[in-house]
Amino acid sequence: MNSSKIDPKNLMALERAVAALIGIAISFIALGFIIEKFELFLHLVAMQLGNKSLSIKAVENASFYKWMGISIILAGAILAIYSYFYYTKWIELLQKGELDTDKKVFLVLALFVAAIAVILILSMIWF
């Protein structure tokens, strides 16, 4: 790698951007884990209350939280892997002295976070 062509300011900015993407990936993984474990919380509340109807409703909705949590964890893992490819693509561009924008990744992140929010709000209303 010939890093002599790369301006240190650009390299540090790239590293901050990739670190932010990795941080978002870690946040997705943690959020997915919390949502997935919400199933356990529902079972514990149902057992403590001794309410059969709550217990049945908790069991019915448990798979929803399990699959939603797993999906968010998977999205975090994909984002972590994508961050590496994002970094290598930008290193190549900076070595050539070129600049390019990748607005797609930020659009996808924004839409994914908005979708998670909408799904969680709807789950709070219906479940």
Specify the number of domains making up the chain.
1
52 is in which domain, residue-wise? 7-126
In a domain, 111, yes or no: yes
More confident residue, 91 or 47: 91
What would you report as the CA-atom Rg of the chain, rounded to the nearest whole angstrom? 21
In a domain, 1, yes or no: no
pLDDT the model gives residue 4: 58
How does residue 37 score in pLDDT terms, banded at 50, 70 and 90?
confident
In a domain, 30, yes or no: yes
- Residue type for 14, please? L
pLDDT the model gives residue 73: 94
Q: C-alpha 62: how far from its chain's center?
A: 21
Residue-wise pLDDT for 58-99, tens only, equals: 566 777 888 889 999 999 999 999 999 999 998 998 898 887
Rounded mean pLDDT, 42-64: 67
- Residue type for 38, please? F
Q: Please list, in sequence order, all residues whose beta carbon lies within 8 angstroms of the beta carbon of residue 69, skipping any fewer than 6 positions away.
A: 32, 33, 34, 35, 36, 37, 38
In a domain, 24, yes or no: yes
Please check the confidence at residue 54 and state whether its pLDDT lies above 60: no
Instruction: Match 């479940």 to its residue by tokens.
Output: 127
In a domain, 44, yes or no: yes
What is the C-alpha to C-alpha distance for residues 18 and 99, in angstroms, rounded to an integer?
Answer: 16
In a domain, 106, yes or no: yes
